[in-house]
Each structure stands twice: as structure tokens, then as C-alpha cells.
Structure 1
């Protein structure tokens, strides 16, 4: 009898233990289901859990680390955006082995990664960037090499994309509010200046040219600094600018025929290495001196840094100040 009671007691204890294990297993399964459900409801959780985030720029998705610590600016446009936002990149392109003077100390923490045509893979590998802000002008093989190091976002060189360019860096650097404030300020300032210039400049020709390789170039109305003049300020667009496709070389005679009332001239020495006296030669020419702008002392040389990209928040803001100063005097 005792043996029988002991046997029954052991069976009862075994069954209780089995039930306890079954409950525990059931609770763990339930917890797993809840976690899976939350993950499927919120896609962002999966992205963060993977240690990456997706940056959307001009309709394309770019995977980058969730925590951005090292940014390389491999284009003049992104360097100017960094200057505007107070972001100090870990690497940046150089011109003639140095950063253009107008960047001041904004590139003080940046390693020189080579020139704008083909940044150095070796230096970039040493930096180990989280993201590279390149340019849409990179050749396919250059873009492919950079993407093998870190996600390369091809920053647009078109002036009309200036807001998107500024905002993508702002998102990476946690400065979106600052970027939005910069955009709002520029648009308000441009609207105010446009109103002041509307009547005064209605019959005037305002032109910006760039001297490269000793030749004079004009740009279409949506390229370089021209959107400031002809879009943001709604100044009269010369026929030659309307007909121009991106960048077009013109003769001195053609420039004189356009006969600008106000002429902004950009002349960078490194772009005229084989014709260092090109600007002075033009200024001494009788044809140049026949223009209204020259006769009335309204030719403004390098009123903005001559290496400036033209179509960035920094370039546009600086040029707007210059236009206000020169055209409202």
C-alpha cells in the first residue's frame, strides 16, 4: 500500500512539473509574438535595430548608419552647405592642395581627400566615413569606388536643387531646423529685394559672366548664380541667357552687344592658369570700355568668392547681399 501511495505521489509531482513547464513555454511564445507584431507595425524599428537608417534624397533611398559621426564632403556644393550649417566635415576636396580661402576655419577638422574629379580612396579608407556627400558629376567608376567605402550621396550640381542639398546634410548632421530657418530667411530677403528692384531695374540688363581659360562664359538662367537674378529677383532675362544651354562661351564683341548695365565678373586664377592676364586685357580693351556697365563703373569683379559654387544656400545668400548693395546704391 505504501509503495502504491508513493507511486501515486511521484506521478502527481511529475504532472505538476510538466504543467509548470508548459505555462512557462506558453508565456515565452506569447512574448515573441508581441515583439514580432510590434516590429511589423513599425518599419522604423527594424531599420534602427539593424543599425542603419534610410535617407531619401531627390527621390532616391540611401542607407547610412543610424548614428552619423563622420561626414566627408566630396563636392564644393556640400562643402558650402557644411559652411552654412556650421558642420565641420572629417574630409573634403581641395583645390591646388588647399581649401579655398572663403571657407575660413570651417574645414579645420577635414583631411584633404584629393581633387573634385577623383577623391583618394586611400585617404577615405583611413577616415572611415559614415557617409560621403559627393557630386552628381562623378564618373560612374568614381561613384562606384566611393560607394565601396561608404554610401555616397551624389549631391546635385544644379542650382535649382539647393534646398534639397542643404536639407540632406542637415538631416545627417541633426540640423534640420537650422536649415529650414536658412531657407525661410533667404526666401523672405529675396522677396523683399525683388519688390524694391521691380521698377528700378525693369529696363536694365544685369549679367554675370565667368572667365575660364581666358574666355568669357555666360550661363543659362537656371545655372550658377543666375537663378538669384532671374528667378528669385525676377530681373529681366537677356535673350542670350534665355537661348544659352548651361554654359556658353561668348566673344567680347558679343558681350558688348549685350551691353549690360550691371556686370558681375568671376575670375579665379586657378581657372586661368594659362591666361593669368585675361581679365586685365579685357578691361583695357576699347570694346569692353564701351559697355554701359564699364562707363558707369558698374563692373563688379569677384564680388562673391570666385571659387563659389553659385547654386548653394551659401552662394545664394552671399550674392543676394551683393546684389542688394550694388543695385540699390
Structure 2
């Protein structure tokens, strides 16, 4: 009986140890499982926070329309020259840019703004697959594109088409500044241009050139003589900015038109500022052989100024307007 009793005690002890071991194992398993769940939750929360931060949006308003853009837009694709000059003066390099943005090479006024960018083929209507692969935060293009052409760009990233009107220069640089976080820099650029414009206006108003007929033209073999509306690109500097009289020929143009040489001779401007492609300078040489061209007062007086600024500076951004203003002031403001 004693032996059986001892055996029974041993069995009971073994059973107790087994139960205790199972309990500890279950407890450890529960603890480890809970810890794993907590870790997963923290990781999920962290990822959600990162995603939320990277996808945070803000609203920018441009020419009466609201656009939703990333709060921090580090990857900006620039497809047209309207935006490129604004980026330069604000000290911001684009992430990607259209390869054929500049016909005559990158203007020296742009400095190193395009060094190291990712180039996109096909210009303002880019290679869509290439652009999609770059995953830009924002696309800056031109209002010269129609709504149908803009659609595929808008499906890739928020797309803002910048105006080509000289009257919208301030709005253009302001919206680019809002996107890039450079509001103070934009304010300084705008104020500096206005001060320079006012000084030039006063100088020319006090000169003998204040009542002269002044025109800005584009000249090329393909398009001949082209004129622009009074508000477009550099004309905004001449007429609204400096207060020069709008020639009747220019006032009749809605956007851009080819001007027959006969009409140019009739308009008979006193000063001509002409932009000619660097690879097509023969176009101005060919004009010199035309009798009607040589009858124009500006030609007879030697007042035709070819490429006072680089022909690929666009004329709407404040950078190119400033460069043009400097040349016009030096030409018209010194006559007494």
C-alpha cells in the first residue's frame, strides 16, 4: 500500500507540473501575440502618418481657379518656358523639364537652373509614359495647350497651365512661389521690377522719344514678320508698363499675326525691337534686301535692334521682362 501511495503522489506531482507548464506557455504566447499586435499597430500607425504627411494637400488659386497640390511639392516637372524663368528667379530647380523647351539652346540668363534635371522628350506635349514614370508632384505647363491636350497631364499629377499674357506676370510668379514655398522671394522680385519700371517710365517720358512709335516683332524665315497683341509678352512692357502709345497695327492683333511687309511700311515705326532665332539670322538679312523694309523710318535711322534679349526668353516672366526693359530703357531713355 505504501508503494502505491508513493506512486500516486508522484503522478499527482507530474500532473501539476504539466498543468503549470501549459499555463505559462499559454501566458507567454498571449503576451508575445499581444506584443506583436502592438508592434504591427505601431508600424501601421507610423506608415499611415508618413503617407498622410506625404499626401497632404493645399489649395492654390491661380487666375480665379483653385488647384490642389501637395503641401511639399519637391518633384516639379516644367514643360514650358513660361514657368522656367519663374523657377530660376526664385532659386528653385525643376525635378524634370521638357528637352526641347529652348530652340536656340539654354539662355545664359538661366545660369545653371537646368543642370542635373531629368529631361523629358517631346516638349509641351511630352512622352506620357516617360512623365508617368517620373511621378512628379506637380506639372507646370502652358495655357497655349487646349483642354483636350491637358487631360492626360492632369491624370498624372496636378497640372497648372501658366498664362502667356504679359499682364499675368505677377500671377505666374506668385503661384509658382506658393507651390515652392518662396512667397517672400516672389514679393521681392515683383517689387524690384515695379521700381525699375517706374524709373524707366519717368526717364523715357522726359526724353524726345516719348511720342515715338515703337514695336516689338518676331522675325523668321518660316513666319516672316509677326506681331503680338498689346498685352502679349514684351508688348506689355512697352505699352502698359512704359506708357508708350499702342500702334494701330498692334492694337488690331488679338494674339499673334503675320504682318505683311506692306502694312509694316504703312505703320512706319520709329523703333523696332526684333527677336530672331539664332539659327535663322538670315531672315533679317533677307528683309534688308526688300525695298519696302528699307523705307521704314526705324530702318533708315538705324533703330532696328535684333535680339536685345535672348530669343528664347519668353517675355511673360519677370526675368525676361526685366532684361527687355533694361535694353529698351538704354535705347529710348538717353535721347534728349
TM-score, normalising length from structure 1? 0.79
**d(CA) in 2 for partners of 1:321, 1:96:** 25
1:259 and 1:291 in contact (8 A); partners too: yes
SS in 2 for 1:165: helix
2:124 and 2:141 in contact (8 A); partners too: no
- Match for residue 248 of structure 1? 257
Q: How does 1:1-329 map to 2 (within 5 A)?
A: 51-95=56-100, 100-102=105-107, 103-200=110-207, 201-212=209-220, 213-269=222-278, 277-329=282-334
Q: How many corresponding residue pairs?
A: 279
1:214 and 1:278 in contact (8 A); partners too: no
- Match for residue 29 of structure 2? none
1:267 and 1:306 in contact (8 A); partners too: yes
Structure 2 gap ranges (5+): 1-51
Shift of 1:50: 6.2
SS in 1 for 2:244: coil
Shift of 1:269: 4.8
Shift of 1:97: 8.3
Shift of 1:220: 1.4
**d(CA) in 1 for partners of 2:111, 2:72:** 27
SS in 2 for 1:284: coil
- Cα deviation, 1:139-162, whole Å, max 9, x if unaligned, reads 333311111111111211222111
| Superposition CA RMSD, Å | 2.1
Shift of 1:94: 2.7
SS in 1 for 2:162: coil
- Match for residue 15 of structure 1? none
TM-score, normalising length from structure 2? 0.77
**d(CA) in 1 for partners of 2:162, 2:274:** 26
The answer to which of 194-203 and 76-85 deviates more is 194-203
- Cα deviation, 1:164-195, whole Å, max 9, x if unaligned, reads 11011111111111111111111111111111
After TM superposition, what 4+ stretches of structure 1 lie above 6 angstroms from structure 2? 47-50, 96-99
1:89 and 1:109 in contact (8 A); partners too: no
SS in 1 for 2:258: strand
Shift of 1:266: 0.9
**d(CA) in 1 for partners of 2:137, 2:223:** 40
1:93 and 1:99 in contact (8 A); partners too: no
2:55 and 2:70 in contact (8 A); partners too: no
